[in-house]
Amino acid sequence: MSDNIPAADRAILEQIVAPAAPQKKHGMIVNEGYRYIALGESGCGKTSLMRAVVYYTLMKRYAGFALVHDTKGIFAEYPKSVQVSSTAEWIARGWKQGDTPVVSFRGDPRRDITVSAQEVAELSLLYARQGIIVRENGVDVWKPNPHVTVIEEISEAATEGRKNVAAPAVLKLAEQGRKMGVSLLCTTQETVNMPAVLRSQATSITFGRLTGTSLNYLDQCNLPPEMIKVIKGPKGGGLPNYSFVLYIKGNDEPWDGKVHKLSEETVSMFE
Ligand SMILES: Nc1ncnc2c1ncn2[C@@H]1O[C@H](COP(=O)(O)OP(=O)(O)OP(=O)(O)O)[C@@H](O)[C@H]1O
Ligand SMILES: [Mg+2]
């Protein structure tokens, strides 16, 4: 599948998933995962972009599976995934042969079942801590269990002060996931709703269409001034839908000034 992704799209996805590549450090193979935030207004293409990132990570085998908190819509954002109402239902079910390695936690209003970002993040932490036990030279050795966890609309997991995350497990994932090879993906519609902790832990952020007060807040985000100018758009009306700029933390190169857009081909590949 990855061979069908146009080169321009692949180059973007590569930069986002790069921190999840296994690396050799002090004689050990480590995978630090990435923390990616997709920012932008409703309908600007955040979920489409995030879905491509998730599947790309799986295709590269940088992660074994994905857990997705997806309770908003009537239809699942990951139509090919295994869809369950709650973490309890998932634990009872487990993996079956032929499953796509993506689980969507959807809740079920008709059965009055809800599932929170906190519960999905707790499950992710549990898998991370358990790791995979591998027998090596007659002894059981703990190995990380790299996976990705997707939290749609992080502001719902944020406190009112917006400085913190109400779901402490999401916060923990952002802070500790790195040590256990967990990648975290979140979306948010408003710049101001991006919790400071997530912002500081993020390895990459895509800025899509933003308008009004969201644009003003950008000045506080410690971004290259050129990048802010482009996100604000030529007439201060923001980028068009589906366009975005990519911020990669720790990239010492001057920003290349590029505005990206995933091809329709790539978007529809994962829908
Ligand atoms: N690069 C693209 N080219 C063509 N169509 C796109 C592209 N990106 C997204 N779309 C389409 O736009 C629609 C909205 O995209 P998406 O659901 O990703 O937006 P969103 O930012 O997640 O919105 P919301 O905030 O409401 O969740 C989808 O139907 C998707 O197929
Ligand atoms: Mg969305």
Nearby residues of 105 by Cβ (< 8 Å), 6 or more positions away: 67, 68, 69, 70, 71, 84, 85, 86, 87, 90, 115, 119, 120
- Residue 86 sits in a domain of what CATH number? 3.40.50.300
Contact 44, 242 (CB under 8 A): yes
Tokens of 137: 């030279």
For ligand 2, the distance from its centroid to the CA atom of residue 46, given in whole angstroms, is 5
pLDDT tens, per residue, the chain with 271 residues: 556 899 999 999 999 999 999 998 888 888 899 999 999 999 999 999 999 999 999 999 999 999 999 998 899 999 999 999 999 999 999 999 999 999 999 999 999 999 999 999 999 999 999 999 999 999 999 989 999 999 988 876 654 444 555 688 998 999 999 989 999 999 988 877 777 888 889 999 999 999 998 888 888 888 899 999 999 998 889 999 999 999 999 887 889 999 999 999 999 999 8
Q: What's the angle, vertex CA 184, arms to CA 180 and CA 170, rounded to 5?
A: 85
* Domain extent at residue 24: 2-269
Q: Which residues surround ligand 2, an ion (CB under 5 A)?
A: 47
- Nearest Cα residue to atom 14 of ligand 1: 43
Tokens of 192: 């101001």
For ligand 1, the distance from its centroid to the CA atom of residue 130, given in whole angstroms, is 35
- pLDDT value, residue 156: 66
For ligand 1, the distance from its centroid to the CA atom of residue 241, given in whole angstroms, is 8
Strands (DSSP E) contained in 90-232 are 102-105, 132-136, 139-143, 147-151, 182-188, 204-207
- Note the pTM of the prediction, 2 decimals: 0.94
**Which tens digit of pLDDT belongs to each residue from 22-59?**
998 888 888 899 999 999 999 999 999 999 999 999 99
- Positive or negative: CA dihedral 190, 195, 198, 202: positive
- pLDDT value, residue 127: 97
The total number of structural domains that make up the chain: 1
